[in-house]
Structure 1
Amino acid sequence: MQKFMITDTSDVVRKVGKRILSELDFLVSEGASAQEALACCQVDLPDYIIVDSGMEGALDLILGIRAMENGKAVKIYYCVVEADLKKLMAGKRAGATDFLLKPFDRKILTAVFGNRAIAA
């Protein structure tokens, strides 16, 4: 089973995302802050992670994951509220693999990650 982490300051976003991704057969963990997520990643690196761009320390979290052993293998999705080119480029420079628009829902998460869980 592939491991997935959702990092967002919103309890609701984490809860909804966890429910949907768990149904897609991911083992899902949560991080309420960049520091909490980084500490969890140091113990058990996920295969996928969603990083909320509005969270304090989001770019540092991405850089921290990329600096870890096997950190380059993690698929990091930088979650933005709008397609702000400046924010997208900052995420890409930090090492984000791809982007998600927020708010996401079942349809979006299933379209993006549904086949990946099955392929594992």
Structure 2
Amino acid sequence: MHSVLIADDDEEMRELLTFKLQNGYDVTAVSDGAECWNRLDTAADDLPDLVVLDVMMPGLNGYRVLDRMDGDDRFDDLEVIMLTSRGKEDDIVRALEAGATDYMTKPFSANELLARIKRVLE
């Protein structure tokens, strides 16, 4: 079973994503970018297969998490889908250039997110 790490500071969003993904994936959810980075940085050989990453979080935002991952060969095979309310072209390009696999804006279709996750992981 593929594993997914969700990083979003909105508790309702974490609960919704966990609910939607839990039947097909091993899901872990964290509430901010620092916790996401700590899990990734200390995961050693047990990295998730995918991170669903919000951009706007207190402290360490999603872009900074991507920046830390960029250039670190431990994360070469880690897929990242940005899921955020920031939908300007500059935001999307910045995330994709920093290594994000895909980018979706909120509000979003749960079915579309599931299809994107399936495409990325299979």
- CA shift in 2, pair 1:22/1:116, >3 Å: farther
Q: Which one of the candidate residues 48, 61, 66 is aligned to 1:62?
A: 66
Aligned position for 1:29: 28
Gaps of at least 5 residues in structure 2 are none
Aligned residues: 117
| Cα distance in 2, alignment partners of residues 33 and 113 from structure 1 | 21
| Cα distance in 1, alignment partners of residues 86 and 56 from structure 2 | 11
Q: Which one of the candidate residues 105, 108, 112 is aligned to 2:112?
A: 108
Larger displacement relative to structure 2 (45-54 or 100-109): 100-109
Gaps of at least 5 residues in structure 1 are none
Q: Which one of the candidate residues 82, 88, 94 is aligned to 1:84?
A: 88
Aligned position for 2:14: 14
| Cα distance in 1, alignment partners of residues 109 and 92 from structure 2 | 20
- Displacement after TM superposition at 1:87 (Å): 0.6
- Displacement after TM superposition at 1:107 (Å): 1.6
TM-score of the two chains, using structure 2 as the length reference: 0.82
- Displacement after TM superposition at 1:83 (Å): 2.9
Q: Which one of the candidate residues 99, 102, 113 is aligned to 2:103?
A: 99
Secondary structure of 1:70 counterpart = helix
Q: Which has the higher helix share?
A: 1
Greater relative contact order (Cα < 8 A, sep 6+): 1
- Displacement after TM superposition at 1:67 (Å): 4.2
| Identity value in percent | 19
| Cα distance in 1, alignment partners of residues 68 and 86 from structure 2 | 24
- Displacement after TM superposition at 1:115 (Å): 5.6
Cα RMSD (Å): 1.9
